[in-house]
Amino acid sequence: MSEVITAAVIQQAIPGNSKTENLAITCDYIRDAAEQGAELVVLQELHATQYFCQVEDTGNFDLAEDIDGPTAEIVADIAAELDIVIVMSGFERRAAGLYHNTAQVFDGERGRAGIFRKMHIPDDPGFYEKFYFTPGDGNTDSLNGFRPVQTRLGKLGVLVCWDQWYPEAARLMALAGADMLIYPTAIGWDPNDDEDEQARQRDSWITIQRSHAIANGLPVLVANRTGFEASPSTSDDGIEFWGSSFIAGPQGEFLLAPNIEAQGAFCAEVSLQRSESVRRIWPFMRDRRVDAYGNLTRRWLDNNE
């Protein structure tokens, strides 16, 4: 494992559902990242199409692909051609009536190194993901659950979007030996919210992920889409995705600062050795009271318990 790697997050607006056109732009950004020296490239959530979860429509299941489908094949090919590690995200058809929001990791010429199926599935206005996605299989499946993916660059703790809000998910990846946390994302504003509320939401999103870096002493890489995507429903106003992709070090420091509207491949150098020195001065792993955390597996604690 290299002591320092150059990592890139891709931030892209998605103007339509033509996978061919969208992937052509994505591949251009990947090549640009490689020209900048990137060894690791992270793509945003569901990058091949617009964010179809704004509505519940059974026709959208036609957008799903098998795990080895054409989108994965294109990404695997460019990872092999450039001999870089790429984290992609897609809509997986696992079986009839069984679909996942699935990240895949391709390790250059070595091919697929592993997958992660999104564990936390939201269901909110404009984000109707429970209609489409089955949660990941948890720790019953060696390919899934909160287990990092081993690559030549280290162990990648890949999580997806809504997973990024949960400290439990980040901690379990860290406990399993992740060298960094990676979040492909599609999140944005409701246009009906005022500017103050929009700012609070974006700041909360950045803060929670930086806190995962601090609490676990790990770098965090976040790739989010940008731009406006209209809702297919005439009664809804669409989503303005807030971009703000960033890379943070193990003390939450920005190695790549967030930018709302920029598009392209954005790179930063990431030290994978700093986690050792940071954890020596902030030994959170040492001081965890694992004997007292049993109630974390409970949904709620009633007042009389």
Instruction: Please tell me which residue in 118, 129, 229, 267 is annotated as part of the active site.
Output: 118
Q: Residue 2 contacts by C-beta under 8 Å, 6 or more apart in sequence?
A: 39, 153, 272
Q: Is 118 a catalytic residue?
A: yes
Q: Is 161 a catalytic residue?
A: yes
Q: Please report which residue ranges of the chain form alpha helices under DSSP H.
A: 19-35, 70-82, 167-175, 195-216, 274-281, 284-287
Instruction: Please tell me which residue in 39, 53, 65, 161 is annotated as part of the active site.
Output: 161
Instruction: Please tell me which residue in 45, 92, 129, 229 is annotated as part of the active site.
Output: 45
Find tokens 């090549």 and name the residue.
31
Burial-class residue 73 by CB neighbours within 10 Å (0-12, 13-18, 19+): exposed
CA separation for the pair 55, 236 (Å, rounded): 9
φ/ψ bin of 32: left (φ > 0), alpha (ψ from -120 to 50), beta (otherwise)? alpha
Whether 145 and 116 have beta carbons less than 8 Å apart is answered as no
Whether 208 and 198 have beta carbons less than 8 Å apart is answered as no
Q: Enumerate the active-site residues.
A: 45, 118, 161
